[in-house]
Chains A and B, each alone.
Chain A
Amino acid sequence: MYDSHVQLGGRIVPFAGWEMPVQYTGIVDEHQAVRAAAGLFDASHMGELSLTGEYARQVIDYVVTGDASKLTDGQALYTCALNEDGKILDDLIIYRAAEERWLVVCNASNREKMVAVFSKAAANHCEFSDKSDETALIALQGPKAFAILAQMGRDAAGLAELKSFHFRDAVVGNVRATVARTGYTGEDGVEIFCAWSDAKALWDQLIEVGRPLGLKPAGLGARDTLRLEARLSLYGNEIDETTNPFEAGLSWIVKMDKDTFVGKPALEAIRAPGARPAERKLIGFEVTGRGVARHGYPLKNLEGQVVGVCTSGSPGPTVGKTIGLGYLPTQLSEVGSRFLVDCRGKDVEAVVVKTPFYRRPKG
């Protein structure tokens, strides 16, 4: 697909060992296209791990915090994997194709780590293989996503029936693919897995069919502003091996009633009666002063003491405000709470607000 990206004017940057388009027509332009019509993203850098066999489900349930036993065929689940200290190794989507056939999608930057984690857990229990090098992932996101699929053949037209966080095999254009109703933009849409060798044909066809409906190719830059407005965490920013899922606002993906999973004892200790209350929380904020909070900028209380850190920040093209995510002490984390962002030595005012910053209109 590299040639197609360059041909579309994509500005290519190295990302997690991949050559990735950061933008084509401009971050804001692509961002608005996804919200108003549709955007096409090459997300092939993501890792795809396959687990098969009688005990594949148990292996996954041991590694992740979510409850894989609750999934039915064709259902997917957003979850995460922890280390023994209850800190986040990666956030993941797990897919149950069949009782004994599972797919795990991990972040590109964590692929080696997660391959090690899953292959170790799978040893002597189920088959494990890393399919990342042969699997491409194209995300079609936005309100026009299904109108575009409707023109990609009869099978693809039926994908509008797919429920959120469900997937199935489908022929899209003339490419055999697996299509999931998932995404990372806050919009409706799909993520399409296909063989690497078919990806360019599929990409080019989607661009051609989608263009009259307002589809634009979209890069990593727009992906980041879209996910930020939707308050979706980015590994390496909001979550990493120093954060636990509770403080990151991800307790909803942790099933503490599950028998066992890696990191559960550490989380139980955090939640135990008499344990110290959480020291910090991931919050969303608006910058009310003149400045942009960026990843790594210190957050200060109104007395000027450093009390937290910004994990992501940028202007939000749809919300029309400068927004960000960051960790603040629990006592400063209430909506309406005012604080300062140290923008390279200049203190700029900000306020904690409700998230997500953007919620797509129903209908």
Chain B
Amino acid sequence: MSKAAPAGLSYTKDHEWARTDGGDGGSVTIGVTAFAVEQLGDITLVNFDVKVGDAVEAGKTFGTIESVKTLSDLFAPISGTVTKVNDALHDKPELVNDDCYGAGWMVTIAKAAGSTTSELLDEAAYEAHVKASS
């Protein structure tokens, strides 16, 4: 079934991943997991409600992802400021199907002071969550 969740990423119960990018760890890239992609099926549209410079709040939606059958919200796993948006998804939403942990990334967020990924799940806890919900 779905590919195993890669080690070294943090996960949410809403099937998103967060990768803390090198250096001081202030920058976090967000995407959706292979399990989410499998559940959604063919992704046809990714819409972001935010642009570079906008603030996002942990647990709040920052966009939507639509497949042939359903629409689901994208939730920010941490609070911070958007520093990058994956504009390639505008015309190529299928990148999420093809490579959800790579070219199908969604946004990069500069963490707000006090916001942390430490409350998110590690890959083992996330795999257990997937097992329990499938």
Question: How far is B66's CA from A290's CA once the two chains are assembled, in angstroms?
Answer: 11
Given A292-B66, A314-B69, also A26-B45 (CB < 8 A):
no
CB proximity of A65 to chain B, nearest CB, Å: 32
- The count of chain A contact residues (Cβ–Cβ below 8 Å) is 18
Using CB atoms, name the residue of chain A closest to B47: A290
Q: Is the CB of B69 within 8 A of A27?
A: yes
Q: Is the CB of B47 within 8 A of A221?
A: no
- Chain A residues lying within 8 Å of B66, measured Cβ to Cβ, are 291-292
Is B71 in contact with chain A by the CB < 8 A criterion?
Answer: yes
Is B44 in contact with chain A by the CB < 8 A criterion?
Answer: yes
Q: Is the CB of B71 within 8 A of A27?
A: no
Q: Is the CB of B45 within 8 A of A292?
A: yes
Is B42 in contact with chain A by the CB < 8 A criterion?
Answer: yes
Is A75 in contact with chain B by the CB < 8 A criterion?
Answer: no
B102-119: CB near A (< 8 Å → 1, else 0) gives: 000000000000000000
Question: How far is B128's CA from A194's CA once the two chains are assembled, in angstroms?
Answer: 43
Using CB atoms, name the residue of chain A closest to B49: A346
Is A23 in contact with chain B by the CB < 8 A criterion?
Answer: yes
Residue of A27, A221, A292, A314 ringed by the most chain B CB atoms within 10 A: A292
Q: Is the CB of B42 within 8 A of A26?
A: yes
Is B41 in contact with chain A by the CB < 8 A criterion?
Answer: yes
Is A52 in contact with chain B by the CB < 8 A criterion?
Answer: no
Q: Is the CB of B47 within 8 A of A314?
A: no
Interface positions, chain B 58-85, Cβ under 8 Å from A, are 64, 66, 68-69, 71
- Chain A residues lying within 8 Å of B69, measured Cβ to Cβ, are 22, 27, 221, 224, 314
Question: How far is B41's CA from A317's CA once the two chains are assembled, in angstroms?
Answer: 13
List 7 tightest A-B contacts by C-beta distance, closest first. A28-B42, A315-B44, A27-B68, A292-B66, A27-B41, A315-B68, A314-B68
Q: List 28 A-B contacts (CB under 8 A).
A: A22-B69, A23-B41, A26-B41, A26-B42, A27-B41, A27-B42, A27-B68, A28-B41, A28-B68, A29-B42, A224-B69, A225-B68, A290-B45, A290-B47, A291-B45, A291-B47, A291-B66, A292-B44, A292-B45, A292-B71, A294-B71, A314-B68, A314-B69, A315-B44, A315-B68, A322-B45, A344-B64, A344-B71
